[in-house]
A and B are shown apart, each in its own frame.
Chain A
């Protein structure tokens, strides 16, 4: 397995890390406390040319490998997880068009999304269809010259801020998952209403909404081929899980780095916290878990570019990285004691932000289903 990156990819990571550290990180606490959309950070990423790191050059993307892409996601997440969430939600939408759209749709939407001119959202989840998208109830029915779409979606990141939404609905309710199709819904489409931003535990700078749909869409809004929505969404989520794993590494590493500074400064009795074996063992456990998750993420990223099936790799990376982020952020807060619990330091934010990683883009339990299914299929 090849983990090497080009000189340009290394320079891309370097520049993204600089912007993450100098521009995005200083805004993170503000967006978390005010629970407002991380607009300036997303604009900074747009100016940097970061909103197309998931796309090939022919559609205005950067044309870098997934290994480098995941390092950029990690850097952004380490600075502000909300910003990374808004950015990767945009990637889910543009990946949907890349994998499921017609050539014309790719040319129309992807270059402007890659340049940061347009922000995108990905609308799959419904109140009664989370882990199993086939349970979705939102429907599109053919009306003369187009489609009438009715239903609702919830927990949709960027929905209200987005310039377009990639929307997944049933076009044939009797065909199970084969009856799902995707549509591109531009901002300003009549008949879509948004709730207030949902009140969430973490990622408070990345606003999520419930959508109510009763709108008409032209035939050209259908993404690619009717009935292909489920396959597109699953392929997009396979890719997206590498990004969630990278986000997990970013938050976990930020918590570990904060801890390493803290334990050398914080005096307990005559010695710094770092001099106690209990601290040392805890730090070693944090590091070992982080590096294990990192290797799995790198493997999944490398497989993502190989053209082979990588559902097993991306599910394993996502499961382990998200769980490790939970462990590491909690351990980091514990090392900080009362100071970690205070909102003056980012430790409690890391804990809150990391919690969703075990839930969205497939819960840990769903990842285990994907993993065991792949193992059992291979053993047949």
Chain B
């Protein structure tokens, strides 16, 4: 079974992001970039499926600038067999990304597509669902457990108030939640070997996909600074403030 794992290049989760002075976006100059943590979980799940003998080939795909090759190499070091970069320097919407992934799915014909549930930069939580709609595949979003048996996959989903298990016919789309697995570290010898694994570079044009955007980012701002807390003298005063000032009671 072929598995397609999708990854996004984002600002590393340890970095404190800064907004550009002109509010046009986040400053990316000299900032450490990494695989989106949810996407890393997707790659790890694909690698585990291969280690279990369920998957036979893992193709990792990313859509982004030339530099996204770094993240693809990391995914290859983690255990993917080959990589595809759909190169685009544009700031793409979730729909454009889903259309490009649909084209890659058509080309590669995977049985399982695993994506992160959302990226920690734009926090949209849309691409997996849109890809399911475009391909017509069943979707198991926010997965905390994945079990493939025959031509079905059982996906346990993290939903409000508990867990829901769905059974999907293959091919299917899965988006990962945090509890699905704990990704391994890329071993140093595997990082060195990853440079010998194939990495194909495609363009949206070559895939016949228009990425024209219907969205426009107007302004990016830092969250408002938190004001300092206050000390109250008694429980009565606390309750009074919660009721009348905070209006939460």
Which residues does A use to contact B, with CB under 8 Å?
A: 7-8, 11-12, 15-16, 18-19, 47-50, 53, 57, 62-64
Contact = CB atoms under 8 A, between A and B. Distances in A.
26 contacts: A7-B70, A7-B195, A8-B194, A8-B195, A11-B70, A11-B73, A11-B77, A11-B194, A12-B188, A12-B192, A15-B77, A15-B186, A15-B187, A15-B191, A18-B185, A19-B185, A48-B185, A48-B187, A48-B188, A49-B188, A49-B189, A50-B188, A57-B192, A62-B188, A62-B192, A64-B192
A19 B187 CA distance: 10
Interface in B28-83: 70, 73-74, 77
A204 to B, nearest CB: 26
Contacts of B74: 11
Contacts of A48: 185, 187-188
Contacts of B213: none
Contacts of B190: 49
B48 to A, nearest CB: 17
A50 B191 CA distance: 12
Contacts, number: 43
A377 B192 CA distance: 41
B187 A53 contact: no
Contacts of A64: 192
A16 B188 CA distance: 8
Contact of B191 (A8, A47, A57): A8
B191 A12 contact: yes
A250 to B, nearest CB: 17
B188 A53 contact: yes
B73 A49 contact: no
Please name the 8 residue pairs, one residue from A and one from B, whose CB atoms are nearest each other, closest first: A49-B188, A49-B189, A49-B187, A15-B186, A11-B191, A12-B188, A12-B191, A19-B185
Given A8-B195, A11-B73, A12-B192, 18 more contacts: A7-B73, A7-B195, A8-B73, A11-B70, A11-B74, A11-B191, A11-B194, A12-B191, A15-B77, A15-B185, A15-B188, A16-B188, A19-B185, A47-B187, A48-B185, A49-B187, A62-B189, A62-B192
Interface of B: 70, 73-74, 77, 185-192, 194-195
B62 to A, nearest CB: 15
Contacts of A7: 70, 73, 195
Nearest to A63: B192
Q: Is the interface of B mostly helix, strand, loop or mixed?
A: helix
B191 to A, nearest CB: 5
A8 B194 CA distance: 8
Residue of B73, B186, B188 contacting most chain A CB atoms (<10 Å): B188
A53 B194 CA distance: 17
Q: Is the interface of A mostly helix, strand, loop or mixed?
A: helix
Nearest to A22: B185
Contacts of A11: 70, 73-74, 77, 186, 191, 194
Nearest to A45: B188
A202 B189 CA distance: 32
A75 B111 CA distance: 41
Contacts of B186: 11, 15
Nearest to B34: A14
Nearest to B184: A47
A354 B192 CA distance: 32
Contacts of A57: 192
Residue of A8, A11, A57, A63 contacting most chain B CB atoms (<10 Å): A11
Contacts of A49: 187-190
Nearest to B74: A11
A15 B186 CA distance: 6
Contact of B192 (A8, A18, A47): A8
Contacts of A53: 188
A330 to B, nearest CB: 28
A337 B222 CA distance: 35
A50 B189 CA distance: 8
A49 B185 CA distance: 11
Contacts of B73: 7-8, 11
Contacts of B188: 12, 15-16, 48-50, 53, 62
Contacts of A16: 188
A14 B182 CA distance: 18
Nearest to A6: B195
A336 B4 CA distance: 51
Contacts of B192: 8, 12, 57, 62-64
A50 B190 CA distance: 11
A15 B191 CA distance: 9
A116 B190 CA distance: 15
A121 B186 CA distance: 27
A12 B74 CA distance: 10
B65 to A, nearest CB: 15
Nearest to A60: B189
A49 B187 CA distance: 6
A53 B187 CA distance: 12
A18 B185 CA distance: 8
A18 B192 CA distance: 17
A377 B121 CA distance: 59
Contacts of A19: 185
Residue of A12, A47, A53, A63 contacting most chain B CB atoms (<10 Å): A12
